[in-house]
């Protein structure tokens, strides 16, 4: 990554062995939600929630970076900063970017402490931004018992709908009755406008809860994909998830026909999509940290990572397909492949050629009932530290196990079990980037994890079979370069 605003990065930040090498992240400080993804003149502009003053969430700015290839990024000047005494004095929260009458426009939530919806425009190539003098929407809609004091209404998603603009806002109400259970539930509020400045409230476009203790829905996305309408909604609970539904939006309400999740781990959140010039729908998310603030503060001075771009497509059954964007192949070094093999129960195959902490691995195997196949990464020579990606042929589950990833006591290990379903064949793509692990299984099951080995020699890679013989048809991998 290059930085157009400074000649070098802080050496302590760059020296952190857990700092990813091929994922995007700011030069230093805090990062959370991706915001305002927009292509202008063929280049992708990424805005994101950012605190440049430390690795913690406080008085959020909008960071800005631009890419020609989804892989390499140039840092740009900060786009939005809280205005002292203004309607966003406590933070410029999440939102989106659109182009209105040829003018790039950011639509975002300002905090002061009420949550209000705001606009900023650029007329110099997305370098500097001018805020409107007042919020464009400052009051909650009538007749709803909105959660929060002040009311929680945020994260505008805006799209062109014929001759007008439509907007969804995430919120929640106290008097929900989803599944016959009284209590708070998430809602999406629908508005319309001609000019992005005067908004008419239409009604509640969707409501419900994905988890029983839901109170607010965040970061909505609504778009068309493969003949259906697709909705992304994030629920900020103890375990963060971005849920996905496909169905039909009739211009006023969304009716789902299928519900799933974009990621089965607890680290991928605030998913945001964008349509690229070739009409690919791409999804990015925030990968949060898995170590305590005290653990990362002394030397790292950074927090948060942008996920790899995922290409989205619709399966014939209406479910969502997700694959890593093809552009990441440009980072590959020499290919290291193993011949097809049968791995007997209890056997291990070490892969010394892939020893490292920045890898891509492709694996296709037949795993019958009674067998399981494990891919071990970031393993120390004494095996006291290791992370495991496992497919269980009996339960047809994908497991990602970081419970032994680190000897440190200030990290958050996780054991993820994802119901995967299979005909006995598993097709895996695994991206390891120091402390980030992104796993894609058969284009439909994704798990993101964080791992923080204490040992610098926790670099080994191996395969293990258990229970019965496993047939490995494809195994190949690459060391990946830095950005």
Question: Full-prediction pTM beyond 0.85?
Answer: yes
Residues 169 and 191: their CA atoms lie apart, in Å, by: 8
pLDDT the model gives residue 11? 67
* Residue 2 pLDDT class (50, 70, 90 cuts): low
Last residue of a domain, one of 326, 357, 387: 326
Whether residues 292 and 351 fall in one domain? no
**Percent of the chain residues topping a pLDDT of 70:** 95
410 flagged as catalytic: no
**Domain limit, last residue, from 269, 298, 326:** 326
pLDDT digits (tens, 9 = 90+) for 33-67: 999 999 999 999 999 999 999 999 999 999 999 99
Q: Of 33, 88, 263, 392, which one is the catalytic site residue?
A: 33
Report pLDDT for 297.
58
Is residue 292 domain-shared with residue 348, that is, in the same domain? Answer: no
Confidence of residue 6 (pLDDT cuts 50, 70, 90): very low
Total number of domains constituting the chain: 2
CATH code where residue 138 lies? 2.115.10.20
* Pair (337, 282) in one structural domain: no
Same domain, 137 and 266: yes
Q: Are residues 231 and 144 in the same domain?
A: yes
**Residues 173, 313: one domain?**
yes
What phi and psi values does residue 265 have, to the nearest 5 degrees?
Answer: -80, -175
Residues 132/171, Cβ–Cβ less than 8 Å: no
Q: Are residues 188 and 231 both part of a single domain?
A: yes
User: Do residue 112 and residue 243 come from a single domain?
Assistant: yes
Grade residue 30 by pLDDT with cuts at 50, 70 and 90: very high
In this predicted structure, the answer to whether residue 104 has a pLDDT above a threshold of 50 is yes
CATH code (residue 392) = 2.60.120.560
Tell me the average pLDDT across 158-168: 97
Which of 326, 359, 377 finishes a domain?
A: 326
Residue 188 has pLDDT above 90, yes or no: yes
Evaluate if residue 28 carries a pLDDT over 70.
Answer: yes
pLDDT recorded at residue 214: 79
Residues 341 and 319 reside in one and the same domain:
no
How confident is the model over 217-244, as pLDDT tens digits?
A: 999 999 999 999 999 999 977 677 999 9
In tens, the pLDDT along 357-411 reads 999 999 999 999 999 999 999 999 999 999 999 999 999 999 999 999 999 999 9
For residues 180 and 33, membership in a common domain is answered with yes
| Domain extent for 417 | 333-479
Q: Per residue, what are the HEC states of the chain?
A: CEECCCCCCCHHHHHCCCCCCCCCCCCCEEEEEEEEEEEECCEEEEEEEEECCCCCCCCEEEEEEEECCCCCEEECCCCECCCCCCCCCCEEEEEEEEEECCEEEEEEEEECCCEEEEEEECCCCCCCCEECCCCCECCCCCCCCECCCCCCCEEEEEEEECCEEEEEEEEEEEEECHHHCCEEEEEEEEEEECCCCCCEEEEEEEEECCCCCCCCEEEEEEEEECCEEEEEEEECCCCCEEEEEEEEECCCCEEEEEEEECCCCCCEEEEEEEECCCCCEEEEEEECCCECHHHHCCCCCEECEECCCEEEEECCCCCEEEEECHHHHHHECCCEEECCEEECCCCEEECHHHCCCEEEEEEEEECCCCCEEEEEEEECCCCCCCEEEEEECCCCEEEEECCCCCCCCCECCCEEEEECCCCCEEEEEEEEECCEEEEEECCCEEEEEECCCCCCCCCEEEEEEECCCEEEEEEEEEEECCC
Mean pLDDT of 137-158: 96
Residue 82: what pLDDT? Answer: 99
Mean of per-residue pLDDT scores for the chain: 95
Q: Is 16 in the same domain as 118?
A: yes
User: Do 291 and 341 fall within a single domain?
Assistant: no
């Amino acid at each position: 990554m290059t930085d157009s605003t400074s000649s070098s990065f802080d050496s302590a930040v760059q020296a952190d062995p857990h700092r990813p090498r091929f994922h995007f992240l700011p030069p230093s400080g805090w990062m959370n939600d991706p915001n305002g993804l927009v292509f202008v003149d063929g280049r992708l502009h990424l805005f994101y929630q950012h605190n440049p003053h430390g690795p913690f969430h406080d008085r959020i700015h909008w960071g800005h970076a631009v890419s020609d290839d989804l892989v390499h990024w140039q840092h740009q000047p900060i786009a939005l900063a809280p205005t002292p005494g203004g309607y966003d004095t406590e933070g410029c929260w999440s939102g989106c970017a659109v182009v209105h009458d040829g003018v790039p426009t950011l639509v975002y939530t300002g905090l002061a402490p009420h949550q209000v919806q705001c606009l900023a425009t650029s007329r110099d190539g997305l370098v500097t931004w001018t805020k409107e003098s007042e919020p464009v929407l400052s009051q909650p809609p009538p007749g709803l018992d909105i959660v929060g004091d002040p009311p929680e209404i945020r994260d505008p998603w805006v799209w062109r709908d014929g001759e007008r603009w439509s907007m969804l806002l995430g919120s929640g109400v106290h008097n929900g009755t989803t599944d016959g259970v009284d209590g708070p539930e998430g809602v999406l509020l629908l508005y319309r406008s001609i000019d992005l400045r005067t908004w008419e409230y239409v009604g509640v476009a969707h409501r419900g809860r994905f988890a029983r203790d839901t109170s607010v829905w965040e970061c909505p996305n609504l778009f068309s994909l493969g003949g259906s309408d697709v909705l992304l909604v994030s629920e900020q609970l103890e375990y963060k998830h971005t849920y996905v539904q496909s169905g039909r939006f009739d211009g006023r309400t969304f009716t789902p026909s299928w519900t799933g999740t974009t990621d089965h781990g607890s680290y991928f959140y605030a998913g945001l999509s964008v349509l690229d010039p070739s009409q690919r729908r791409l999804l990015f998310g925030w990968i949060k940290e898995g170590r305590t603030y005290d653990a990362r503060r002394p030397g790292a001075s950074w927090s948060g990572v942008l996920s790899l771009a995922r290409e989205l497509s619709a399966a014939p059954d209406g479910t969502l397909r997700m694959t890593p964007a093809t552009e990441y192949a440009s980072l590959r070094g020499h290919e290291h492949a193993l011949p097809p093999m049968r791995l007997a129960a209890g056997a291990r195959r070490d892969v010394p050629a892939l020893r490292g902490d920045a890898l891509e691995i492709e694996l296709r195997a037949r795993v019958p009932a009674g067998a399981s196949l494990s891919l071990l990464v970031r393993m120390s020579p004494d095996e006291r530290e290791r992370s495991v990606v496992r497919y269980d042929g009996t339960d047809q589950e994908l497991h990602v196990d970081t419970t032994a990833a680190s000897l440190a006591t200030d990290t958050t290990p996780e054991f993820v079990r994802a119901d995967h379903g299979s005909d006995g064949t598993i097709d895996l793509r695994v991206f390891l980037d120091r402390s980030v692990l992104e796993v894609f299984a058969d284009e439909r099951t994704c798990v993101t994890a964080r791992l923080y080995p204490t040992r610098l020699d926790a670099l080994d890679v191996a395969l293990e079979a258990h229970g019965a013989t496993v047939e490995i048809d494809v195994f190949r991998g690459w060391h990946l370069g830095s950005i």
